């Protein structure tokens, strides 16, 4: 267990790290694939570390040779692995087709993985209390009951708990994802659903709902801060009922949109931990997400804070208060 950490500029990310097999072609027999390591927790942790925060990953990883390579990769991304648990068992794996259009093609083989067995007992309470931001997602809640319990436990301890619903229909239903959100809503400092499909599904809104309808529904759940992520259009921030549209700079290169949302939320968590106003953190988050799509796989291209700030500065638009 890790103790005695600084209490500023620290982000804790909980979740499962996956072996990633990706291809730029249709997945079929004989097609070449690229081996990597990804998963929303790792993608977010890598973005947080790159954005300047001390970032620790709380996860279970198999104690085999592939697990050694995985941990080496995570550490190479600047993420502190001292809270990673090495245990016997199998890896979780997903296969994906890199898709510049953003259409999702994920095929999972993760049932029974050691990562999915994350539990409240794996969470160091002192570590979580000491962090500026604790980040977890609906994916972690969906992979097992014990992992969901770990998320709820951490949310109850955190100074600032950031929750990315990250609905994946291959893992869970919209109804179950909505219940997972409700379970942590009262303890959540910031929630980041994507707009429109995820947000309307989670909140039970009609297809013709507006962003205002969505933000009103989130406020009724007691959420004082929320960000609707809108892909290449940027984001809509609601902070204490002040709504701000945050446009995104255009991507310089689009190879694969896997992990763009994770890049956004990890960057936001880091910049909040480092003391930036939330609106500034969101502006940098959309810039980091815009850059991240330039690499194949979730952690192939993780932009540095310098790159992100430069990219954000290339766009002439500014945040605009609306409503």
In this structure, the number of other CB atoms found within 10 A of the CB of residue 62 comes to 20
- Of the candidates 108, 128, 96, which has an alpha carbon nearest to the alpha carbon of residue 299? 96
**Whether the predicted model's global pTM rises above the 0.75 cut:** yes
pLDDT at position 57 is 98
DSSP alpha helices (H): ranges in the chain?
Answer: 40-50, 65-76, 125-130, 138-143, 145-157, 174-185, 197-203, 211-220, 260-273, 278-292, 305-313
Q: What is the per-residue pLDDT for 136?
A: 98
Question: pLDDT under 50 in the chain at which residues?
Answer: 1-7
Task: Please give the DSSP secondary-structure letter assigned to residue 27.
Answer: -
pLDDT for 3: 39
pLDDT of residue 97: 77
Question: How crowded is residue 202: how many other Cβ atoms within 10 Å of its Cβ?
Answer: 26
CA dist 45 and 74 (Å) reads 9
Give the CA distances from residue 31 to residues 26, 59, 94, 97, 256, in Å, rounded to whole numbers and listed in that order. 8, 31, 16, 11, 18
Query: 139-173: per-residue pLDDT in tens?
Result: 999 999 999 999 999 999 999 999 999 999 989 99
> What pLDDT does 17 receive?
96
Top CATH class, 10-322: alpha beta
The percentage of the chain sitting over the pLDDT mark of 70, rounded to a whole number, equals 91
Please give the pLDDT value at position 5: 39
- The token pair at 71 is 């941990």
pLDDT at position 103 is: 57
């Amino acid at each position: 267990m890790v103790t005695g950490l600084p209490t500023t500029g620290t982000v804790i990310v909980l979740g499962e790290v996956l072996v990633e097999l990706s291809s730029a072609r249709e997945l079929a027999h004989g097609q070449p694939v690229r081996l990597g390591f990804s998963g929303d927790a790792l993608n977010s942790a890598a973005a947080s570390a790159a954005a300047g925060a001390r970032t620790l990953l709380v996860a279970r990883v198999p104690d085999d040779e592939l697990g050694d390579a995985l941990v080496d990769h995570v550490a190479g991304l600047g993420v502190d692995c001292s809270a990673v648990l090495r245990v016997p068992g199998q890896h979780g794996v997903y296969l994906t087709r890199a898709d510049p259009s953003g259409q999702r093609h994920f095929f999972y083989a993760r049932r029974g993985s050691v990562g999915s067995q994350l539990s409240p007992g794996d969470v160091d309470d002192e570590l979580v209390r000491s962090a500026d931001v604790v980040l977890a997602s609906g994916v972690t809640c969906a992979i097992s009951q014990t992992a969901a319990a770990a998320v709820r436990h951490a949310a109850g301890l955190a100074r600032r708990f950031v929750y990315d619903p990250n609905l994946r229909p291959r893992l869970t239903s919209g109804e179950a994802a909505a219940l997972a959100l409700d379970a942590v809503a009262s303890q959540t400092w910031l929630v980041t659903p994507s707009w429109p499909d995820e947000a309307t599904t989670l909140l039970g809104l009609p297809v013709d709902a507006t962003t205002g309808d969505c933000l009103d529904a989130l406020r009724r759940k007691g959420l004082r801060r929320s960000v609707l992520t809108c892909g290449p259009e940027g984001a809509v921030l609601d902070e204490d009922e002040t709504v701000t549209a945050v446009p995104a700079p255009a991507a310089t290169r689009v190879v694969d949109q896997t992990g763009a949302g994770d890049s956004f939320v990890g960057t936001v968590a880091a910049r909040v931990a480092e003391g930036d106003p939330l609106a500034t953190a969101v502006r940098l988050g959309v810039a980091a997400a815009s850059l991240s799509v330039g690499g194949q796989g979730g952690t192939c291209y993780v932009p540095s804070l310098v790159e992100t700030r430069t990219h954000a500065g290339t766009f002439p638009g500014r945040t605009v208060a609306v409503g």
